[in-house]
Amino acid sequence: LEICGGRRGACAAADAVMPVWILLSSVPGLKAEDGGMEELTTEKEAEESHRQDSVNLLTFILLLTLTILTIWLFKHRRVRFLHETGLAMIYGLLVGVILRYGIPATSYHNKTPPSCSLKEGPASTLLLNVSGKFFEYTLKGEINSREIHNVEQNDMLRKVTFDPEVFFNILLPPIIFHAGYSLKKRHFFRNLGSIITYAFLGTAISCFVIGNLMYGVVKLMRVVGQLTDKFYYTDCLFFGAIISATDPVTVLAIFNELHADGDLYALLFGESVMNDAVAIVLSSSIVAYQPSGANTHMFDASAFFKSVGVFLGIFSGSFVMGAATGVVTALISFFGLHCFPLLETALFFLMSWSTFLLAEACGFTGVVAVLFCGITQAHYTYNNLSEESTKRTKQLFEVLHFLAENFIFSYMGLALFTFQNHIFSPIFIIGAFIAIFIGRAFNIYPLSFLLNLGRRHKIRGNFQHMMMFAGLRGAMAFALAIRDTATYARQMMFTTTLLIVFFTVWVFGGGTTPMLSWLHIRVKQEYLFTSLFPCRRVGVDPDQDLQPCGDSFQVLQGDGPQAEGQSKTKQESAWLFRLWYTFDHNYLKPTLTHSGPPLTSTLPSQCGPLASCLTSPQAYENHEQLRDHDSDFIRNDGDLTYTFGDTSITANGASGGGGGGAAEPAWSANGKRSGSTSEEALERELDSREQELLSRGTRLVFPIEDHI
Amino acid sequence: LEICGGRRGACAAADAVMPVWILLSSVPGLKAEDGGMEELTTEKEAEESHRQDSVNLLTFILLLTLTILTIWLFKHRRVRFLHETGLAMIYGLLVGVILRYGIPATSYHNKTPPSCSLKEGPASTLLLNVSGKFFEYTLKGEINSREIHNVEQNDMLRKVTFDPEVFFNILLPPIIFHAGYSLKKRHFFRNLGSIITYAFLGTAISCFVIGNLMYGVVKLMRVVGQLTDKFYYTDCLFFGAIISATDPVTVLAIFNELHADGDLYALLFGESVMNDAVAIVLSSSIVAYQPSGANTHMFDASAFFKSVGVFLGIFSGSFVMGAATGVVTALISFFGLHCFPLLETALFFLMSWSTFLLAEACGFTGVVAVLFCGITQAHYTYNNLSEESTKRTKQLFEVLHFLAENFIFSYMGLALFTFQNHIFSPIFIIGAFIAIFIGRAFNIYPLSFLLNLGRRHKIRGNFQHMMMFAGLRGAMAFALAIRDTATYARQMMFTTTLLIVFFTVWVFGGGTTPMLSWLHIRVKQEYLFTSLFPCRRVGVDPDQDLQPCGDSFQVLQGDGPQAEGQSKTKQESAWLFRLWYTFDHNYLKPTLTHSGPPLTSTLPSQCGPLASCLTSPQAYENHEQLRDHDSDFIRNDGDLTYTFGDTSITANGASGGGGGGAAEPAWSANGKRSGSTSEEALERELDSREQELLSRGTRLVFPIEDHI
């Protein structure tokens, strides 16, 4: 409908909402198919093309179906070396090869399209006058003059090539929202400082290291004569930004399955979620950095600071917007809707979507807003939802996330063969592989050293190596790379990104299990468990799976040196964070949710009337229990292995009285499964009680004096 | 991308898949935003327009949010005179008024678009040569010459006007699929013959009656001089077809809430689901009927039979396609996936979507295919899904259906003011109101009379009146009407349809409760129940809600004469249906699901090896239970009121041994709720047992000798 010319950054934000709207508004319809066009020769062509469209989409659906069936087989046989995303890529590749080489490029167009000349610049709408009848045309974009005669020939390949904005605006939001929404973890909040450091500082370091290294590579290419077109310094930095977004989905899936260390999981997951947001904003700031007027694309202090300003502005704006929508949803859900899970879920979905639209309408980044919206929803709204809605919303976003993720990965496989502007440059590709390795190292090791100075619970060497190893690239890097493939530099970046994603997902993803044992990172044995309840352990969200629930921890090979240092986590959080926690726990949570202590006990006594007005009746009931839970957690948190015996006993008594909903009904039906011994029943009971306890609000772990 | 000219019917099918694909492929991207376009004046305009887009979409989202919040209030206060869809329309109307009259029509376009002339007919793609640079343009459609100067002026109203195909291809499929998927009811299958009669024969009668009456009205208008343009006989028939699709969503919601008679519910629900499909195919057959070459649009025997052929071809093709996909999904889910609810749900979703695409790719009607896919999925696949997946899939489609339905209704409200080609013709509107009334009467009363000749369980007079009353028009009529608003006749039809939908939803929908009591149709008291468990009865699917679970039936006012005649339902089904049931029960169900008798017991003994190969081990286990259940149902089915005491006792013993999943975990946790008396506990137990039993496959109700 409209074109998006000129500077990409400014345009990208405004353009981003388009696809969602397109989906609803710009479908070519039957409006104009009246009388005058009855004898058009294009009718058959249009019909044929529509069928082609649905066949193309069917291809993707069948690809996904095939992937699902194979994953099922793999999960059934406990194959761990290939994750579903890797599999989706392989199937995508195969179909890509077939589409590219298997099918003759038959075109149903027989002639090149008519052309007409104008002196003015291209407008978004063009009227065509054919013997008195007017037809409305919409600008699709510029095409190279060498492609004019190609336009009609490779129709099919063009058709399976999606518009990049689809990835940003339709496929990424559910993935990102789900990541934010499933963040609700003790381990995440315990490591929040480190996660933010890795995500912000680390991604920036990685971006600049990679950018500068690649600039060296580009200079080398120019010397060798391999560079045939322009490649600026800002392009290199842009590449650094897009390739710094890690996505260790494969590694995390295996961690999840093997119940690897919770802190390490939280560090990796948290970092990958946050650095996606950082990479998006960083890349658009770099585009905005372009020194005005000049074509030097070299360093310019004022433009640099402008970029930093843009970064901070967009990021904080999106953050505030996402958090605000989350808080509004929490407030709405606070006042009822409990009895109507369908309404609750629908409202939840609509509010989360409106965050995206609102951010785009205000010129911020929708994806970033959706991430923080997800986190806020999980922190506050989740506590207000009815038991059924918590499950519904989780499952809804789980399905959306699953479909979107696998779609992106299978499209990546396809794109390697169907995308028509690949530029394979061996030097650039090798350079990029080395650069991302060095960039990751400059991110992880120095920052870990700095963080360890402040952390009581140190990030040990084997954890650092694992984080280094888990620097996979995935959906976000791809989406950022495909967003703009107009120039020579961008095309080369796209090809390289694609190869990096393939390599890291297959090689690093596949090597996770060996790496875990090689690095002596302990995992929990779960074979006993899964053999007893084969249907239970898969597809359950990581929130629940990662809670260690017994003493069956063991190290895969040998014994890690992690016994010391674990019992000192209590004081780990910084004062700023502690301040926030106190504020959140004492004032925000009671105001926005039904959990937390009643405001009457936390607000100064002169605010009494206001406090009792804002506190929900339930809060009083919950208060006594919460006291127990919190203090219990804090006292025992140091050593996970010995924690849960205590906890479960305390919690058992407390929650039995409260009668709150258990997290998983299957588990609260104690003793209903036939054939389980009393020990198993006890273990399950402990597990279920613990989940119940954990599901009752985010437990942050550090001492609050008045609770002990 | 392509235009769709000429005859609408042929085009519609091919065009129908477009939007789905558009959503993924034709988003205007950044591809062409490179260098050359940097100085374009359109950049700011594009940015502004994108923001406008997201603001527009936000408007709809906020509309839906507002609707949800108000519904919540209504449900909370047990307001029954206004359903959520009626409410959505009211809010839509309000926003429509604001958009139309409240906001000054500021346009950010300053000039009329450039135009260029060609001698050839319009192609789908046009190249524009601007001083050596080529731009690709896509045909959007023909515009009236009088609108050329208007193109840019009412941008905003145009923007909130969706393309009609969106309704068909994005919003209707989830609604229709959900209808098919939630059909799994004893009452539905018991009344299948009647439902099919009303849906096929009744809709055809209604279509022809309304068509002919409207032709009279049109002739009258011509005499009076109110007709300013062409209005053919086929147009009248087309109007008859689109307005014959009933959608008593409001009435059914109230039935559901009040637990009105199950048979009446099934008749209404079944009819409305099926006649949507009939109306779609009927309307496209009528378009295809257009006598070739001639412009008479009068009756032509050969064209008529061609139409009938088209109707039968499209309908049966779509039916076969939908059923086939359902069977394939059942087969896939038969072989595992049990342990992976996420994979199961995703597969289920993908397969159902692929039905739509496949049908469109083959030139059939996607919506019809999706309906029968839903029915097949519910009949076979549902039985193979894991307990969690059954809930997940139901909830997923419930949310999609809820959002889509309310979106359509709020858009209807909006369209009354923002649609720019309304033609209000009082004579036509009054005529249409009378015609739909007469058409409905010619559908219900004669067919009921005929059906009662064959039915043992007669459709009584008050039921007939209620069916007459429940002839509301809704989403499907609107979608069919808005699909093509190019001609004068179609625009007048669209306006009239909109008014009919408003009137019937508000007046008939609001009058359901008084009508029920006036017609002495008995409903079940549920106040006791809801006051005990306020959160339980709302949002649960009608499948479970409609099972009477005690003897608390009562008539709202007075006593209906329905005691006699109820105990003779056994022999109601026709021999053809009985044949199908036997085949389905003995061969299809055991092959496709884990329920039903083992094939070894139903196939002739010479097929032994094949039979034991096809039968799942579970089937043997289930067999004994099934025997009990089935026979029990058949024996007791006549009188609903006394059935369930027996059933529950039998089922209790049987299902306790089988250990199968209860339909609702909340209910299987017997005795866990505090404060319930033993009687309530018993009642709940009975209820839960009964649900468990019913959820274990569709129980068809008529005697099979070998089970007694």
A133-142, A572-581, A698-707: range with lowest mean pLDDT: A698-707
**H-run or E-run covering A621:** helix A617-636
Name the residue in chain B with its Cα closest to that of A148. B134
The residues facing B524 across adjacent strands are B553
Q: CB distance B134–A142 less than 8 Å?
A: yes
Name the residue in chain A with its Cα closest to that of B31. A486
Q: What is the pLDDT of residues B496-523, one digit of tens each?
A: 999 999 999 998 888 888 888 888 887 7
Q: What are phi and psi of B159, to 5 degrees?
A: -70, -35
Q: Tell me whether A130 touches chain B (CB under 8 Å).
A: yes
When CB atoms are compared, the residue of B5, B57, B483 closest to A43 is B5
Note the pLDDT of residue A47: 67
The pLDDT of residue B316 is above 80: yes
What tokens does B448 get?
């009921």
Q: What is the pLDDT of residues B290-306, one digit of tens each?
A: 654 445 555 567 777 77
A to B CB pairs, distance under 8 Å: 570
Q: What are phi and psi of B523, to 5 degrees?
A: -125, 165
Are the beta carbons of B89 and B498 closer than 8 angstroms?
no
Note the pLDDT of residue B436: 92
pLDDT > 90 fraction of chain B, expressed in percent and rounded: 12
Name the residue in chain A with its Cα closest to that of B329. A65
Are the beta carbons of A206 and A446 closer than 8 angstroms?
no
Q: How far apart are CA B592 and CA B393, in angstroms?
A: 19
Note the pLDDT of residue B260: 79
Are the beta carbons of B691 and B662 closer than 8 angstroms?
yes
List helix spans (H) across B455-555: 461-469, 475-482, 488-503, 509-510, 512-518, 527-532, 542-545
CB within 8 A of A578, min separation 6: which ones?
Answer: A702
A371-375, A535-539, B186-190: range with lowest mean pLDDT: A535-539
The residues facing A139 across adjacent strands are B137
Are the beta carbons of A165 and A16 closer than 8 angstroms?
yes
Q: What is the pLDDT of residues A91-124, one digit of tens each?
A: 999 988 888 887 665 544 445 666 777 766 666 6
List helix spans (H) across A98-226: 155-159, 164-166, 172-181, 186-190, 192-196, 203-224
DSSP string for A415-476:
HHHH-S-----HHHHHHHHHHHHHHHHHHHHHHHHHHHHH-SS---HHHHHHHHHT--B-HH
The pLDDT of residue B213 is above 90: yes
Contacts with A68 from chain B: Cβ below 8 Å: 343, 346-347, 350
Predicted confidence band of residue B445 (pLDDT cuts 50, 70, 90)? very high
Contacts with A351 from chain B: Cβ below 8 Å: 65
Q: Tell me whether A51 touches chain B (CB under 8 Å).
A: yes
CA separation, residue A359 to residues A271, A355, A366, B58 (Å): 23, 6, 5, 11
- Could you report the predicted ipTM of this complex, rounded to two decimals? 0.72
Tell which B residues from 171 to 200 touch A, by Cβ distance under 8 Å: none
A323-332, B245-254, B655-664: range with lowest mean pLDDT: B655-664
Reported in sequence order, the residue ranges of B289-377 that DSSP labels E, i.e. its strands, are none
Q: CB distance B666–A668 less than 8 Å?
A: no
Q: What is the pLDDT of residues A38-71, one digit of tens each?
A: 333 445 566 677 777 778 888 888 888 888 888 8
Note the pLDDT of residue B242: 92
Q: Tell me whether A397 touches chain B (CB under 8 Å).
A: no
**H-run or E-run covering A523:** strand A523-524
Q: Tell me whether B539 touches chain A (CB under 8 Å).
A: yes
- The listed range with the strongest mean pLDDT (A560-564, B414-418, B444-448) is B444-448
User: Regarding predicted confidence, which is higher, A277 or A189?
Assistant: A277
Q: How much is the average pLDDT of A671-700?
A: 42
pLDDT > 70 fraction of chain A, expressed in percent and rounded: 60
Q: Tell me whether B58 touches chain A (CB under 8 Å).
A: yes
Q: How far apart are CA A220 and CA A232, in angstroms?
A: 13
Find where tokens 């060095």 sit. Answer: A438
Task: Give the gap in angstroms from C-alpha B517 to the nearest C-alpha of chain A.
Answer: 27
CA atoms within 13 A on the CB side of A351: 30
The pLDDT of residue A296 is above 90: no
Q: How far apart are CA B80 and CA B66, in angstroms?
A: 18
Q: At what angle do helices A341-361 and A366-376 cross, to 10 degrees?
A: 140
Q: Tell me whether B79 touches chain A (CB under 8 Å).
A: no
The pLDDT of residue B1 is above 50: no
CB within 8 A of A409, min separation 6: which ones?
Answer: A85, A86, A88, A89, A92, A474, A475, A505
Contacts with B36 from chain A: Cβ below 8 Å: 142
Q: B125-130 and A133-143: which strand pairing?
A: unpaired
What is the strand order of the sheet B125-130 is part of? Answer: A115-118, B125-130, B133-143, A133-143, A125-130, B115-118
Q: What is the pLDDT of residues B27-73, one digit of tens each?
A: 333 333 333 343 334 455 666 777 777 888 888 888 888 888 888 88
Q: How much is the average pLDDT of B197-223?
A: 92
Environment class of residue B655 by beta-carbon count within 10 Å: exposed (0-12), middle (13-18) or buried (19+)? Answer: buried
Find where tokens 């339980």 sit. Answer: B536
Contacts with A57 from chain B: Cβ below 8 Å: 17, 20-21, 24, 357
Name the residue in chain A with its Cα closest to that of B394. A392
Q: How far apart are CA A141 and CA B46, in angstroms?
A: 13
Q: How far apart are CA A329 and CA A337, in angstroms?
A: 11
Task: Give the gap in angstroms from C-alpha B79 to the nearest C-alpha of chain A.
Answer: 15
Q: CB distance A31–B485 less than 8 Å?
A: yes
CB within 8 A of B428, min separation 6: which ones?
Answer: B214, B217, B218, B221, B226, B492, B496
Cα maximum dimension of chain A: 87
User: Regarding predicted confidence, which is higher, B228 or A246?
Assistant: A246
Question: Can you give the three-state secondary structure of B213-262, one letter per residue?
Answer: HHHHHHHHHHHHCCCCCCCCHHHHHHHHHHHCCECCHHHHHHHHHHCECH
The pLDDT of residue B272 is above 70: yes
Task: Give the gap in angstroms from C-alpha B212 to the nearest C-alpha of chain A.
Answer: 24
What tokens does A659 get?
């009668």
Q: What is the pLDDT of residues A506-542, one digit of tens each?
A: 988 888 888 888 888 877 654 434 444 444 443 333 4
Are the beta carbons of A214 and A435 closer than 8 angstroms?
yes
> From the CA atom positions of chain B, what is the Rg in Å?
27
**H-run or E-run covering A536:** none
Q: Tell me whether B43 touches chain A (CB under 8 Å).
A: yes
Closest CA to A480 of A690, A207, A222: A207
Note the pLDDT of residue B135: 72
Q: Tell me whether A79 touches chain B (CB under 8 Å).
A: no
User: Regarding predicted confidence, which is higher, A178 or A692?
Assistant: A178
When CB atoms are compared, the residue of A27, A62, A487 closest to B166 is A27
Report CA torsion sign: B540, B544, B546, B552.
negative
Note the pLDDT of residue A611: 65
The pLDDT of residue B317 is above 50: yes
When CB atoms are compared, the residue of B16, B50, B486 closest to A33 is B486
Q: How far apart are CA A210 and CA A463, in angstroms?
A: 23
For residue B457, give the DSSP letter: S
The pLDDT of residue A568 is above 70: no
Name the residue in chain B with its Cα closest to that of A536. B339
Note the pLDDT of residue A209: 94
Q: At what angle do helices B387-418 and B84-97 cross, to 10 degrees?
A: 40
Note the pLDDT of residue A493: 92
> From the CA atom positions of chain A, what is the Rg in Å?
27
Name the residue in chain A with its Cα closest to that of B343. A68
Contacts with A12 from chain B: Cβ below 8 Å: 30
Q: What are phi and psi of B465, to 5 degrees?
A: -65, -40
Q: What is the pLDDT of residues B608-661, one digit of tens each?
A: 666 666 665 555 555 544 443 433 333 333 333 323 333 333 333 333 333 333
The pLDDT of residue A297 is above 70: no
User: Regarding predicted confidence, which is higher, B642 or A610?
Assistant: A610
Mutate to test the interface with B, among A131, A154, A395, A545 (most CBs of B within 10 A): A395
Q: Tell me whether A76 touches chain B (CB under 8 Å).
A: yes
- The listed range with the strongest mean pLDDT (A211-215, A693-697, B150-154) is A211-215
Q: How much is the average pLDDT of A553-565?
A: 36
CB within 8 A of B651, min separation 6: which ones?
Answer: B628, B629, B632, B689, B690, B692, B693
Note the pLDDT of residue A649: 30
Question: Can you give the three-state secondary structure of A302-341, one letter per residue?
Answer: HHHHHHHHHHHHHHHHHHHHHHHHHHHHHHHHHCCCCCCH
User: Regarding predicted confidence, which is higher, B280 or A627?
Assistant: B280
Q: CB distance A72–B42 less than 8 Å?
A: no
Note the pLDDT of residue A62: 87
Q: CB distance B5–A61 less than 8 Å?
A: no
The pLDDT of residue B439 is above 90: yes
For residue A197, give the DSSP letter: I
Are the beta carbons of A162 and B15 closer than 8 angstroms?
no
Q: How far apart are CA A673 and CA A680, in angstroms?
A: 11
Q: Tell me whether A14 touches chain B (CB under 8 Å).
A: yes
Predicted confidence band of residue A202 (pLDDT cuts 50, 70, 90)? very high
The pLDDT of residue A443 is above 80: yes
- The listed range with the strongest mean pLDDT (A27-36, A173-182, A638-647) is A173-182
End-to-end CA distance of chain A: 63
Task: Give the gap in angstroms from C-alpha A85 to the nearest C-alpha of chain B.
Answer: 13
Q: B553-554 and B125-130: which strand pairing?
A: unpaired
Q: What is the pLDDT of residues B104-159, one digit of tens each?
A: 655 444 456 667 777 666 666 677 777 666 777 766 666 655 555 555 445 666 66
Q: What are phi and psi of A595, to 5 degrees?
A: -100, -175
When CB atoms are compared, the residue of A24, A42, A350 closest to B65 is A350
Note the pLDDT of residue A558: 34
Q: CB distance A128–B117 less than 8 Å?
A: yes
